[in-house]
């Protein structure tokens, strides 16, 4: 029940004495136990598609730190992989998708939705073993961010190729977005049915868009996902995280209407508190590099965020994913400040 799960309670509007906490990428490379398991499995995709291993990775930060939320160990590019693109993770290169849709016709892809089955099995197993007070979070990439990888075949500095395609051939690009929306709704719905209690939509590249493109490629597709998920699973909180949105956070909150909104580290939390809808839960927004730096500056930064957001429901988190070089002692210090 939400009352026994602090994070879930906050996503439903509660304001406990201290904010619950989880960290984006909390199951990852800064943990020696994760690095050992990934080396054993031989790569990220092998790890993410092995339910036994993915369960272990999901649980590692819960055992070590006792976070209030466990985030499913997976990747935002599982959706394009299921849509028929081939997915690889090269050493030091980041993920790659083939064929890149900047030239290839998406109609030539052969979807294989069974590629997502290991994810649902991972969810079922984690849900059965989490501590009673821990909220289980599922996630997916938002359509714009996922589409940037699908079109370019890899990450890019400014998403220029995808933005250009969206301008030059809006109908073709809309077809790609529609495919992602449809499968994302199904993907998150299946995660919820398997046991996650809230979901997050990651729009990591939302900050690269003009206001008109932001409306078309961020607000409208995410609103479609939110509306369709709510119709299937009323009461399951949805967190929207449009990284880099800046002042467009106001439009995102109104247009997408998520249950909670994530703030990246560039957002002044006092400003966000002043302009976002009253009572809307917020999540964030410590700079991951400040966590890596540690020291008194970390303590000050944590308290500044808590003070700025003390008047509304608040889930403490980073402004993006935890860095791989972050000392474990700094995470422990962060938790000590929050819990004291």
Distances (CA, A) of 124 to 116, 118, 165, 191, 282: 13, 10, 39, 9, 28
Q: At what angle do helices 328-339 and 51-65 cross, to 10 degrees?
A: 60
DSSP letter assigned to residue 277:
P
H helix or E strand, kind and range, residue 172: helix 170-194
Catalytic residue status for 25 = yes
Residues 102 and 181: their CA atoms lie apart, in Å, by: 19
Catalytic residue status for 167 = no
Catalytic residue status for 227 = no
Catalytic residue status for 203 = no
Q: Of residues 25, 96, 125, 223, which has the active-site annotation?
A: 25
Checking 247-255 for CB contacts under 8 A at 24+ apart, the result is 248/206, 248/211, 248/214, 249/275, 249/276, 250/275, 250/276, 251/211, 251/214, 251/215, 251/219, 252/206, 252/218, 252/219, 252/222, 253/277, 253/280, 255/215, 255/219, 255/220, 255/223
Q: Of residues 30, 34, 149, 187, which has the active-site annotation?
A: 149
Catalytic residue status for 232 = no
Q: Of residues 68, 75, 203, 287, which has the active-site annotation?
A: 75
Q: Of residues 29, 115, 228, 333, which has the active-site annotation?
A: 29
Give catalytic residues, as residue numbers.
25, 29, 38, 75, 149
């Amino acid at each position: 029940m939400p009352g026994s799960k602090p994070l879930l309670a906050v996503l439903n509007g509660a304001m406990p004495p201290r904010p619950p906490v989880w960290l984006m990428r909390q199951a990852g490379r800064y943990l020696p136990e994760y690095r050992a398991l990934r080396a054993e499995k031989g790569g990220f995709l092998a790890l993410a598609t092995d339910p036994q291993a993915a369960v272990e990775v999901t649980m590692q930060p819960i055992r070590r730190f006792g976070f209030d939320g466990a985030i499913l160990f997976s990747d935002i590019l599982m959706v394009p992989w299921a849509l028929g693109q081939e997915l690889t993770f090269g050493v030091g290169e980041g993920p790659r998708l083939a064929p890149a849709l900047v030239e290839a016709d998406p109609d030539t892809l052969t979807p294989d939705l069974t590629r997502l089955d290991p994810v649902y099995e991972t969810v079922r197993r984690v849900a059965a073993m989490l501590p009673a007070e821990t909220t289980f979070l599922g996630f997916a990439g938002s359509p714009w961010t996922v589409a940037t990888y699908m079109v370019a075949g890899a990450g890019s500095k400014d998403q220029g190729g995808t933005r250009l395609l969206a301008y030059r051939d809006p109908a073709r690009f809309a077809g790609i977005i529609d495919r992602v929306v449809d499968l994302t709704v199904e993907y998150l719905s299946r995660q919820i049915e398997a046991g996650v209690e809230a979901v997050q939509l990651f729009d990591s590249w939302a900050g690269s868009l003009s206001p008109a493109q932001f409306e078309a490629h961020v607000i409208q597709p995410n609103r479609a996902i939110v509306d369709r998920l709510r119709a299937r699973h009323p009461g399951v909180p949805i967190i929207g995280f449009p990284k880099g949105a800046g002042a467009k956070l106001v439009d995102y909150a109104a247009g997408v209407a998520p249950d909670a909104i994530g703030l990246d580290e560039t957002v002044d939390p006092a400003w966000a508190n002043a302009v976002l809808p009253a009572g809307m839960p917020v999540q964030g927004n410590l700079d991951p590099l400040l966590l890596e730096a540690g020291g008194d500056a970390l303590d000050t930064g944590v308290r500044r965020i808590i003070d700025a957001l003390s008047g509304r429901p608040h889930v403490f988190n980073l402004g993006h994913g935890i860095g791989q070089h972050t000392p474990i002692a700094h995470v422990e210090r962060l938790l000590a400040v929050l819990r004291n």
